[in-house]
Structure 1
Amino acid sequence: MKKLTFVILLSLTGCSNNNVVERITPPSSVIKHSAIEGYEDRYSNLYNSFEAYPATCEAQCYPPTPRITCKSQMQDCTYVGENPSLSLTTGFTIQWLGHASFKVNSPDGQQFLFDPVTAQFDWPVNWAFRLSEGYNRNLPTALSKAELQQTDAVMYSHLHYDHFNKDDVKTIGTKAQFLTPLGFAEHFPDDGYKVSEMAWYASKQLGDVTAHFVPANHFSSRIWVPFLYEDHGAALWGGWVLEHQGHTLFFAGDTGYSPHFRDIQQKYGDIDICLLPIASYHSEEHPKWYRKVHTTPEDALVAAQELGCKVMVPWGYGNASWRMGDRTSHSALFRLLKMQDTLKTATPIYILNEGDSLSL
């Protein structure tokens, strides 16, 4: 029996009739709301009060390793260690473009992009970030305009500027389908885009691939001013599970550690390929808050175990990262290798340098 999918075509405020927007919220999907600063209908994490972490690195978290060579201490580095031999036959090919951006080619010949941001933040936040932090990222590995326009579908995890860039949307063009969290479509340019807004555990068929939108433990906003809540939580956030003939690939998006990883494994079974964040967890001023919404390397290792990952591919570090909340470009990777040895986790880790590809 075919599953019924509930789709509502919408013309959203802020979007012209030029854009075709659908909202996918089947009865099996999950939406959680909470009140924030006078707003009653803001999206909320499933496990807002969760703060118990299975493992934490307490000392000597960044020891040197011959597996990473750097121009200076944990800065401007290249991973030179060996990666594990893997016998997976999923048919997926992955290219890490830097930070959270991936190109994924599916077994049926489609090209997907996760969170494509090929330069800096959208203006004026790029300008403000430069003034306040004194740092812009090095330019990451770039797909050509022709390559970008071959994209069949783009999947976004949330609205933060390092994950959603309007210039990239314009370059990709209107041929691709755009899959987003709820509340996202009004941020698209007004030029004939096809946008599918989805609730947690909603699904959309893309050729032979099923894309499932799944929970993350994070937040969403576009206003880059502290303590202004006009759009805080007005759009949802999450990750993506791609499923093709029994094989699965999981892109977590930005997330902290919480029981939602176990939930995802219980719903979809052990995951073949897990693309998990390991960076942006460090903050001397707000350590508890940062960890709540960003996995430490040890959190990611535990999550990989709970997801049943057959291989974990980490991301978030790198020479083209913004180093937001991190000590250096590669400190997170040093800590990951340290904690892999400490925890003796069984999940294989395949480490990429920016621009590298992997077929599994």
Structure 2
Amino acid sequence: MEQCAYVGEQPNVESKYGFQVKWLGHASFLLTMPDGQQMLVDPVSEQFDWPIDLGFKLTGGFYRTEPEWPVSSELDNLTGVVYSHIHYDHFNKADIAALGTQPTYYTPLGFADYFADGGYKINEMAWYASAQQNALTVHFVPAHHFSSRVIVPYLTEDNDATLWGGWIFEYQGKTLFYAGDTGYSAHFKDIQKKYGDIDVCLLPIASYHHEEYGNWYRNVHLTPEDMLAAADDLNCEQVVPWGYGNMSWKMGDLTSHSALFRLLHVKQTLAPTRPIYILNEGESVTF
């Protein structure tokens, strides 16, 4: 896969909220809150967990360039880890073992069974539940997706036995939203109605194309156009797209870069007024 980097213009950022966003690749972020505490979002540092890893190796399936993971000193203030859902590209047991028992793990309902015994602090949450972490409030919110693990490709181990969703990080009235994998639905308007306008939105723009699953695949993933509609529903002041790039799996898209190409085309043709900040993997921005 050819390595690509975005080198275009970026919107002006005033850094008035104090949220630092570092994109690690695909769906993984390292977030630093205004008080310095850090949250890892959907951390997957390598490839898929066993046994799906072996299955894709045998079938020549979706592999990616591994991200430049944060060095240990970057995680000195890691207080929390959140997961949006249990699909292999968002939840990796090997990373849990590496991150250890110091942070609190915020998960959808049903995740605790996937953690090893050994003192992990796990806070399973239902939609619209909230938890307090020092001055930070963590809210779990709906997404239009699904959740299952598989033993080998196309053989499911469970049927939505765990919940799925997105996360809002609220600090002294300022909000940062991570959508998780999701299709477009009325839940974005519901979230805005409950929590108000969102200051910073991390929204996916892939994967939406699949030859086998067709329209169903788009039903549970956002296109770039859907992402813009979701940003309008949430009334996001700042938008960061994710899901494309050198470190993303192909995941049914034409290439791992095509979602960004499509977003850039949409920006030219539709000229949305809402600012969109496009990161390359490993880059950071403070809003």
The answer on 1:328 being equivalent to 2:249 is no
- 1:150 positional shift: 4.0
The answer on 1:197 being equivalent to 2:124 is yes
SS state at 2:159 partner = coil
The aligned amino acid for 2:285 is L
Q: Indicate if the aligned counterparts of 2:63 and 2:250 stay in contact, CA closer than 8 A.
A: no
Deviation string 1:273-303 (CA, Å, 9 cap, x unpaired) is 0000001111122221101111111101111
Distance 1:129 1:347 in 2: 39
Q: Indicate if the aligned counterparts of 1:145 and 1:172 stay in contact, CA closer than 8 A.
A: no
Q: Indicate if the aligned counterparts of 1:149 and 1:172 stay in contact, CA closer than 8 A.
A: no
Q: Could you state the TM-score of these two structures normalised by the residue count of structure 1? A: 0.77
- 1:225 positional shift: 4.6
Seen in structure 2, the aligned counterparts of structure 1 residues 229 and 162 have a Cα distance that, compared at 3 Å, is closer
Q: Indicate if the aligned counterparts of 1:95 and 1:102 stay in contact, CA closer than 8 A.
A: yes
Q: Indicate if the aligned counterparts of 1:151 and 1:172 stay in contact, CA closer than 8 A.
A: no
Q: Any gaps of 5 or more consecutive residues in structure 1?
A: 1-71
Point out the structure with max Rg over C-alpha: 1
Q: Could you state the TM-score of these two structures normalised by the residue count of structure 2? A: 0.96
Deviates more, 1:283-292 or 1:169-178: 283-292
Deviation string 1:105-133 (CA, Å, 9 cap, x unpaired) is 00111010000001111122112112224
Aligned residue in 2 for 1:144: 71
Distance 1:182 1:240 in 2: 14
Q: Indicate if the aligned counterparts of 2:175 and 2:198 stay in contact, CA closer than 8 A.
A: yes
Q: Indicate if the aligned counterparts of 1:149 and 1:171 stay in contact, CA closer than 8 A.
A: no
SS state at 2:212 partner = coil
- 1:326 positional shift: 1.2
Identity %: 60
- 1:167 positional shift: 1.0
- 1:204 positional shift: 0.3
Seen in structure 2, the aligned counterparts of structure 1 residues 212 and 96 have a Cα distance that, compared at 3 Å, is same
Q: Any gaps of 5 or more consecutive residues in structure 2?
A: none
Distance 1:148 1:123 in 2: 26
Deviation string 1:168-218 (CA, Å, 9 cap, x unpaired) is 111111010000000111001111100000000000001111000000000
- When the two structures are aligned, how many residues end up with a matched partner? 287
Distance 1:146 1:85 in 2: 29
Q: Indicate if the aligned counterparts of 2:55 and 2:152 stay in contact, CA closer than 8 A.
A: no
- 1:221 positional shift: 0.7
RMSD of aligned alpha carbons: 1.5
Aligned residue in 2 for 1:308: 235
Distance 1:346 1:319 in 2: 27
Deviation string 1:59-90 (CA, Å, 9 cap, x unpaired) is xxxxxxxxxxxxx8xx4211000100023511
- Please show how residues 1-360 of structure 1 align to structure 2 within 5 Å: 75-148=2-75, 150-225=77-152, 228=155, 230-360=157-287
